Amino acid sequence: MDIPVLVVGAGPVGLTLAAELARHGVRARLIDALPSPSPYCRAIGVTPRSLEMFEDMGVVDAMIAAGLWLDGVRMLLPGQPPRDLRRDLSDLPYAALGVPQYETERVLAAHLARFGIAPERGVSLAGLTQEGETVRVALDGPDGRETTSFRFVVGCDGAHSAVRKALGIAFEGEGWPFEFMLGDVAIDWDVPRGLALFAVRPVEEAPPDLFVAVPLPERGRYRVSAMAPARLSAPAGGGTDHGIQADRPGASLADLQEVADRLLPERATLGDMRWSSIFRISMRLAERYRDGNVFIAGDACHIHPPTGGQGMNTGMQDAYNLAWKLALVAKGDAAPSLLDSYEPERRPVAEAVIARTTEESLNFGRRGSGDRLADTQVLVSYRGGPLAPASEEGLCAGDRMPDVQGLRRHGLGFPLRLFDILKGPRFVLLVPMGETTAAVEELAADLRRRWPGVLRVVVVAPGGSTPEEVPGLEVLTDADGAFAATFGGTRAWLVRPDNYLGWCGPAADAGVDVPLYLSDVIAMR
């Protein structure tokens, strides 16, 4: 098969997966049933962890240019003065960014186009069957039905996923019996740029009365949401019945203004509404994420309340996790057993997100999470999973790799960040420089021989030293001492292609433990 992977769904998750597969050297075919991208601003928030992912992909600058930093929220509660709550995330590489979903899709589609790949629109999955290692699919498009084969199929096709339904995977959970109205409007008020506004009136034994306005990059524009009045609501339909109800009339500007007048202490005039819709929320989790050589990701796996902006980000992180594994297997550089780690690593993340966002939504206006990092996704860890079965105190295998600054490299007149070094589709082994590099050179040569193109070795020398360049190694100097302060000076660190730690331990053990780890994980040589 010239193209080994079919990706179904060209939203943020499918675009991320197709682009990451291409960056890892595997071409995918990307289809979407919609004739054109959705104009609705379903998701806005981009978490700090997703921005780290976008940096690795090479699109973070374009995302930042398309967005607006979300600095906090103005909270309005009954009987209390307005409070501007700002989050200080200055100790992370990135803060929280607001990018309308259609802009996120535009940036990712432009990035994908650089690999010579474009979504095929108006093409839907009509059915699939698996025959050994081959997935046979029927596709309906503008020119009729096509039957073709792929080695892998990944459903990134949303809450009503055709791929999930074709596999017969249960999508259990429940939906809220009430609906929300959304709108893209201009608002004339004194809320500082970059602050969202949450006006909440808790109601006992019922959902809170609320008015939420999240700023959009265009000055004075907001994506607003509120409870839909009874006259706009409709009984829940079958299936998931989740998301924007595009086949029904949306709210009017007067409907949204009515809620604003009821909950805001001062008059705020809404105007210039570009679109509106009714939105329904469900909480559901797929029974499993895989059946043979067919996978699901994103909303096809998990849906939940939009509190904290976790949905799109969790889905894109699903794709980021799956892409490097799928690419290694598709290229023959890893055994298919590597793919067994996808669901055990990602399904618990979705399970936790569903629980947290549901609890926070039901208690909206009563109490906060109290954790400034709760929605950044930098705390997501795969400790105890199949690729990091053991855990220990402090930073260890399964954790997200933190960034440090002040690294120097011979010949470069500027400092580097650790994230600069980790960019790329390969594992990276970070080793402290000892009195001699002979053992490291020997280890690097052995790793290149056994796993060619899969791993790079980087040596970090202490600040104040002047290390020589070593053939086959990247040599850095910890000029500011930040690396040693974070990672110590005697331990080695093996970083996965998705910038999670695969292994760490005494540098003296790397010559034995790293080959054992790679042999177990990649299971090829």
Element (H, E) at 134: strand 134-141
**Total domain count, the chain:** 3
Could you tell me if 50 and 14 lie in one domain?
yes
For every residue of 469-514, DSSP letters joined together read P-TT-EEEEETTSHHHHHH-SSEEEEE-TTSBEEEEEEGGGHHHHH
Domain for residue 327, yes or no?
A: yes
Domain for residue 185, yes or no?
A: yes
> How confident is the model at residue 239, as a pLDDT?
46
Could you tell me if 315 and 338 lie in one domain?
yes
> How confident is the model at residue 437, as a pLDDT?
78
CA atoms in the 13 A half-sphere facing the CB of 291: 19
Domain for residue 74, yes or no?
A: no
Could you tell me if 229 and 214 lie in one domain?
yes
CATH code of residue 13: 3.50.50.60
CATH code of residue 192: 3.30.9
Q: Are 138 and 125 in contact (CB under 8 A)?
A: yes
Q: CB-based contacts of 436: which residues, under 8 Å, 6+ apart? A: none
From 249, 282, 315, give the residue that closes a domain.
Answer: 282
> How confident is the model at residue 525, as a pLDDT?
43
Q: How far apart are CA 303 and CA 159, in angstroms?
A: 7
Domain for residue 370, yes or no?
A: no
Q: How far apart are CA 210 and CA 201, in angstroms?
A: 6
Domain for residue 392, yes or no?
A: no
> How confident is the model at residue 206, as a pLDDT?
74
Could you tell me if 314 and 207 lie in one domain?
no
User: What's the pLDDT tens digit per position in 27-57?
Assistant: 999 999 999 998 888 889 999 999 999 999 9
Could you tell me if 306 and 258 lie in one domain?
no
Could you tell me if 17 and 123 lie in one domain?
yes
Parallel/antiparallel/unpaired status of strands 455-462 and 407-408: unpaired
Q: CB-based contacts of 290: which residues, under 8 Å, 6+ apart? A: 296, 339, 342, 343
Could you tell me if 141 and 234 lie in one domain?
no
Could you tell me if 509 and 428 lie in one domain?
yes
DSSP 186: E
From 296, 330, 362, give the residue that closes a domain.
Answer: 362
CATH code of residue 442: 3.40.30.120
User: What's the pLDDT tens digit per position in 453-504?
Assistant: 999 999 999 998 888 888 889 999 999 999 999 999 899 999 999 999 999 9
From 266, 282, 298, give the residue that closes a domain.
Answer: 282
Regions of the chain short of the pLDDT cut 50: 238-239, 367-369, 525
Could you tell me if 152 and 197 lie in one domain?
no
> How confident is the model at residue 362, as a pLDDT?
66
> How confident is the model at residue 401, as a pLDDT?
97
Could you tell me if 302 and 269 lie in one domain?
no
Closest CA to 299 of 13, 7, 83: 13
Place of tokens 């009045």: 229
Q: Helix or strand or coil: residue 466?
A: coil
Domain for residue 437, yes or no?
A: yes
Could you tell me if 356 and 438 lie in one domain?
no
Q: CB-based contacts of 410: which residues, under 8 Å, 6+ apart? A: 467, 469, 475
pTM of the model: 0.95
Could you tell me if 233 and 296 lie in one domain?
no
Domain for residue 376, yes or no?
A: no
> How confident is the model at residue 344, as a pLDDT?
97
Q: Are 338 and 324 in contact (CB under 8 A)?
A: no
Domain for residue 494, yes or no?
A: yes
For every residue of 64-79, DSSP letters joined together read HHH-EE--EEEEE-TT
Parallel/antiparallel/unpaired status of strands 455-462 and 427-432: parallel
Residue 446 belongs to what domain range? 407-522
Q: CB-based contacts of 65: which residues, under 8 Å, 6+ apart? A: none
> How confident is the model at residue 369, as a pLDDT?
46
